[in-house]
Structures are given as C-alpha cells and as structure tokens.
Amino acid sequence: MAFLRRSEKRSKEGRESGIALFMVVASMTILALIVTEFTYIAQVNSRMAFDSLDQVKAHYLAKSGLKLSLIRIRAYQNLKALAKSAGGEAGSSMIPKGLLEKIWSFPFFYPIPLDVPGLAPSEKDQIQEFTKNAAIDGRFSALIESESSKYNLNSILAPFAVAASPTPTGTATPPGTVTGPGTAGPGTASPTPLPSFNPVEAQKSLAGYITQILNNRMEADEDFSAEYRDLKVDEFVDNLISWADATHERRSAPNSSFQPKGGPFYSLSELRMIDPMDDGLYEVLAPHFTVSAVPGLNVNTVKDTTLKAYFPQMTDEEVKEFFKFRDSTEQDNSFKNEDAFYTYIKSNVAAFRGSDREIEALKEEFKRRNIRIVTEETHFRVTVQATVNQATRLLQADVMVVPPKTPASTPQGSGIPPQEQVAAPPTDSGLRITSMRIL
C-alpha cells in the first residue's frame, strides 16, 4: 500500500510539473508574439513617418523647381527685351539667339549631370562642390514648354476663344516693355485682330486639325494606320465637342456608355474620358493640344506635326526647310511679326509661291477659323518631377506673361515728411500662374 501511495504522489507531482512547464512555454510564446507585434508596429510607424517626411520633401522640392523655372522665364523676358532695346544687329549679337531660347527651353536637372559634353574638369569640380554644399535631398527635373505652339481645346467655346485687343498695327511699344497676350513685342507690329466668334467655324477648325494630325500619323506609321483605320473621326470629334459644349446637338447616335461633361476642359487628361479614346490615340493627340487660353499659334515655337496640321499644303521637304531656316544657329531667322511669316510662306511654299491672292485667301481662312499667328511666347507649361527616396511628386503649372504693374509710391513734392513717406513695393514679376496641380 505504501508503494502505491508513493507512486500516486510521484505521478501527481509529474502532472503538476507538466502543467507548469506548459504554462511557462505558453507564456513565453505569448510574450514573444507581443514583442514581435510591438516591434513590427514600431517599424511600420517609423517607416510611415519617414515616408511622410519624404513626401513633404518631394512636395517642396517640386515647388522649388517651379520657382526656378519662373526665374528662367523672367530672365528670358528681360534679356529679350534688353536685346530688342539695343535694336538691329547690335541687339542680335549681344545675346545669341540659340543661347537666349535655351534659357527657358533647355531641360534642367538636379543634381546637375556631370556627363555633359564639353564640361572642363574644373567645371565638374565646381558642380560637385555646389551639389555638396546645397545639401538638398532627392532629385528633380524641370521642363518648360511653349503652350502657344499647340491648339487650344477650349477654342470651340466663345468665352475661351482668342479675344485680344492688340495695339494698332505698326504701333511700337516702348523699348524694354515685356508684353502680354494680345500685344506686340517692342518695335514690332501687333497681330491682326480676329472677327467675332463663329462656333461653326471653330468646330470645323478643330475637326480639321484632328483629322490632319491623324492622317499625318497614319502616313508615317503603318502599324498605327492598321490599328485605327476603322476609326470614325467625325464621331470622335462630335463626342469631343459634346464634352465641352452643353448646347451642341450631337449628329451621331448617343452612346449610353458615354456621358458628356457639358463644360470646358480643365485638364488634358479629360481627353481619356471621350469615346473611343485609348492610350494609342491619346499619345498621338495630347502633345498637340492645350487647355490654356493661348493668344494664337506661335510660329517661332511650333513643332513639325502641328505645322503640317495648320498648313497641309506644305510638303515634307518644305517643312524640313522651314525648321532649318527658323532654327538656324548661324543667324537669327526667328519671325519678328506676322507679316514676316507670311512673306516666308509666300516665297518658299509652292502652293502659295508668288501669289498674293493665295496668301490673302489663307489669311481669310484663318480668320474664319479663329486662328491668329503670333511670334512672341507668352504662355508656358512648367512640368516638374521631384523624387526623394521612394516618394515622387509631379507638378504641372501654366504660366502666363503679363505686363508688370507699375509700383506705387509717395509722389515727390507731396509735403509728407521723409520718415512718413510710403516706399514703393517690389516690382511685379510680370508672371501669373493660371493653374497648378500636384500629383
């Protein structure tokens, strides 16, 4: 009996020891899970905090890129006005045309690349020293584009059509004046004013422009032609006009899946909402359109596809010769006014060569289509992409050049003591940001 009692006692002690061991193991496991979860949450919160900081850094780095771009545009305007005030060959030789245009047109990258051809070793050292002292986290690229070289999608709407009040033809503005939309450059004739807005002609102009762009692409790209040979351009244009104009009566049968907005375009991305737009069509059309209220077509910044869309009479060889002449690095062949451009067309394009009647007919056609020819760039699109670690911000801003405001100050001889006189405020920059978005 004593033996049985001792066996039962040992068995009971063994069971109690097993329970205690299980409880210890279970407690350690729970503690390990708690510590692991706590560590994971701490790491996630730390990562989120650093990501948020990177997002803020990228945001303000993009804004810094915009401010730098505004300085470049302003510098371009000032130097151009300075060159024009000198006049003639002296002004042209003072600042070479190629260098002047690159002030705003050349893409800017930070950190400044060191593999640029022509950089001397000393210049590379200076760039490296500047980058080191700047202590700026991340990198960004800034691109400035001419908006007047594109077609305004909202030009089919009366409130957004080109409506300028230029100075009388042949009237020169004071030297050094930075001009805005609807005015001519210093010492140059202003563009011809437009007739009253005609919605039918505006819609025809848009349809003809889109048709010409697509035809040019189909002629140059067989794959594009094969993919979109069945595209109904008239139906697409009808949908596009319906999207922007609530009063437009659609000619094609309404598609239940396409609901027009009935308002002006606020962004080019709205093109993707128009049936039957897809990525292929968007990539072809988007570079040639803008939603900014540009004053007209700038023939000094226009690209080849847009030029052919406006002037389908020009052959491929004539288009090449046009850009070879305009963009010459040996001399300044930029068009100083509208008449200079038409003189070139009359002399170098076979369809208009030597014919005043054909040139006049072209001008009348442009008037009906609400198209102006301008030679001064006043509207720019600034695109800045900033990256800090894994955070990225894309900033797009539309910038317009406007006449600077005259600073107000206390007039002389007012009798006000010097200590009470009001100092003139800083001079207006002459630039206006009409729209901006950060993605």
Residue 73's pLDDT band (boundaries 50, 70, 90)? Answer: very high
Return phi, psi of residue 252, to 5°.
Answer: -85, 160
pLDDT for the residue numbered 32: 86
Residue 385 confidence (pLDDT) above 90 = yes
Which stretches of 87-192 are DSSP H helices? 88-94, 97-105, 121-134
Q: Lowest-confidence range among 59-63, 317-321, 361-365?
A: 361-365
Residue 188's pLDDT band (boundaries 50, 70, 90)? Answer: very low
Residue 408 confidence (pLDDT) above 70 = no
pLDDT for the residue numbered 295: 83
Tell me the CB-side half-sphere exposure of residue 38, using CA atoms within 13 A.
Answer: 6
Decide: 185 and 84 in contact? Cβ < 8 Å.
yes
pLDDT for the residue numbered 61: 94
Pairwise pLDDT comparison (8 vs 39), residue with the higher score: 39
Residue 90 sits at the vertex; the CA angle it makes with 85 and 94, to the nearest 5 degrees, is 85
Any idea what DSSP says for residue 300?
T
Q: State which of 90-94, 150-154, 410-414 shows the largest mean pLDDT.
A: 150-154
pLDDT for the residue numbered 180: 38
Tell me the CB-side half-sphere exposure of residue 87, using CA atoms within 13 A.
Answer: 7
Residue 56 confidence (pLDDT) above 90 = yes
For the range 274-283, what are the long-range contacts, defined as Cβ-Cβ under 8 Å and sequence gap of 24 or more?
274/236, 274/239, 274/240, 274/243, 275/236, 275/239, 276/231, 276/235, 276/236, 277/236, 280/224, 280/227, 280/228, 281/228, 281/231
pLDDT mean across residues, the chain: 79
Strands (E) located in 41-177: 108-110, 139-146, 151-152
Residue 169 confidence (pLDDT) above 60 = no
- DSSP H or E segment with residue 69: helix 2-86
Pairwise pLDDT comparison (355 vs 181), residue with the higher score: 355
**Strands 379-388 and 139-146: what pairing?**
antiparallel
Residue 62 confidence (pLDDT) above 70 = yes
Q: State which of 16-20, 95-99, 137-141, 161-165 shows the largest mean pLDDT.
A: 137-141
The percentage of residues in the chain with a pLDDT greater than 90, rounded to a whole number, is 19
Question: What count of other Cβ atoms lies within 10 Å of the Cβ of residue 215?
Answer: 15
Between 199-220 and 233-244, two packed helices, what is the crossing angle to 10 degrees? 140
Q: What is the mean pLDDT of residues 76-85?
A: 82
Residue 392's pLDDT band (boundaries 50, 70, 90)? Answer: very high
Q: What is the mean pLDDT of residues 230-254?
A: 84
The span from the CA of 323 to the CA of 338, in Å, is 17
pLDDT for the residue numbered 172: 37
Q: What is the mean pLDDT of residues 199-213?
A: 85
Any idea what DSSP says for residue 139?
E
Rounded (10°) CA dihedral 169, 175, 180, 184 = 20
Q: What is the mean pLDDT of residues 391-417?
A: 73
Residue 268's pLDDT band (boundaries 50, 70, 90)? Answer: confident
Residue 79 confidence (pLDDT) above 90 = no
Q: What is the mean pLDDT of residues 181-206?
A: 59
The span from the CA of 50 to the CA of 372, in Å, is 51
- DSSP H or E segment with residue 393: strand 391-401
For the range 12-17, what are the long-range contacts, defined as Cβ-Cβ under 8 Å and sequence gap of 24 or more?
none
Among 354, 371, 241, smallest CA distance to 299 is for 371
> Left, alpha or beta for 88 (phi > 0: left; psi -120 to 50: alpha)?
left
pLDDT for the residue numbered 381: 92
Residue 168's pLDDT band (boundaries 50, 70, 90)? Answer: very low
Bond before 426 cis per omega within 30 degrees: no
Bond before 113 cis per omega within 30 degrees: no
